[in-house]
Amino acid sequence: MRFLKTLIWVTIIVGLVVFATNNWYLVSLRLWGGLRLETKLPALVMAAFLLGFLPLYILHLTQVWRMKRRIFVLEGNQRSVPVPPSPPVAPHPTYKAVDPI
């Protein structure tokens, strides 16, 4: 599993490097008030990706943390409640005991 994870990360990084080298163009953005931003295209794409990815990733991490905490509390409550003894089980009425020969 660790090898697969490493392979995926290496593939993503190689893809980003190839994208950046093939698209190293200067891009001009018009912002508010006549302000202009000139940057390289790969930096603009990475910034746009992070702007969309990071808030959702932080939301995901907080939900995972909340669920782990909830599971921990529920498991703690389950340990503190004693389990009542189960009643003895009677054999099924259609069952006949057969003597082994």
Higher-pLDDT residue of 67 and 96 is: 67
Computed over every residue of the chain, the mean pLDDT equals 88
Burial class (CB in 10 A: 0-12, 13-18, 19+), 41: middle
**Identity of the residue numbered 81:** V
Q: 16: how many CB neighbours lie within 10 A of its CB?
A: 14
Q: Over the stretch 43-54, which tens digit does the pLDDT of each residue have?
A: 999 999 999 999
